[in-house]
Amino acid sequence: MDVVRSTGRLTTALDAVLSVVLASPCAACSEVLDHPTQGPVCARCWRSILPLTPPLCERCGDPLPTWRSISVPLAVCPRCRRTRRLIDRARAIGAHDGALRAIVHALKYEGRRSLARTLGALMRQRGAEILVGVACAVPVPLHPSRRRERGFNQAADLARHVGVPVVSALARVRATATQTGLPAAQRHRNVRDAFALTRAGRALAGQSVVLIDDVSTTGATLEACARALKGGGVTEVRALTAARVVGR
């Protein structure tokens, strides 16, 4: 008890010293961190990440106009009614905006890997309903050359914190041009057939799995992953991402 209390006091004192000496900025809002020992993002930024406002589309997780959930028992957005997707259900912590967008960027491009723990915990919490009954989490892989360049795969880092076993079921067999700035149709063409099952992936036939990635933009990458998994006999493929671009 005393140990805990004195450790707490020590951390507070350390925070006070570090915040003055280092003046480390929050990785999301750039304000000086009051508690640098608690990670590179301030509490205000974490608190500002709101969940997507329900009702949500049962399948893709996009917010729906309120009236739809009253009139339709299984609420599905117009796009999901038009096209049957291979991803059965998708959820995210929130919209790819504000602090969440900045935090994902810091994780991915500034190598702030410690952020994956809190992001992963938020994914676990806000994606709880789609984690029920899945056999494992499958991180969206990077091509080996991109993986080498970055030094880590942010999706694999996130997957470790969502609370289900992680299986590296997929390999990126084709290096693809960056998706940034491409329109949806081109994104789908760009990543089609970019993924193949690994040996571990071939053992997942008949199971339900959840794909993990940092951002879902048009869903093209997740769809391409789902195609490979379902081609190998996986029954159900769900997706859980840190952020989701809403209203494409």
Q: Which residues bind Zn ion (CB under 5 A)?
A: 26, 28-29, 42, 45, 57, 59-60, 62, 77, 80
- Kindly tell me which of 106 and 116 has the beta carbon lying closer to Zn ion: 106
Asked if residues 129 and 91 have their Cβ atoms less than 8 Å apart, the reply is: yes
Residue 143 C-beta: closest distance to Zn ion, Å: 29
Can you tell me which residue has the tokens 């329109």?
A: 183
Q: Which SS3 state, helix, strand or coil, does residue 12 take?
A: helix
Geometric angle at alpha carbon 215, from 154 and 157, rounded to 5°: 20
Q: Which is nearer to Zn ion, 59 or 244 (CB)?
A: 59
Nearer to Zn ion, 62 or 88 (CB): 62
Smallest separation (angstroms) from Zn ion to the CB of 25 = 8
State which H helix or E strand residue 216 sits in: strand 208-216
Residue number, 62 or 236, with CB nearest to Zn ion? 62
Min CB(78)–Zn ion separation in Å: 8
Of 77 and 164, nearer to Zn ion (C-beta) is 77
Instruction: Report the C-alpha gap between 216 and 95 in whole angstroms.
Output: 10
**Minimum separation from the CB atom of position 127 to Zn ion (A):** 16
**Cβ of residue 30: shortest distance to Zn ion, in angstroms?**
7
- DSSP H stretches of helix in the chain: 2-21, 43-47, 66-71, 78-82, 98-109, 115-126, 128-131, 144-150, 154-159, 184-191, 199-202, 220-231
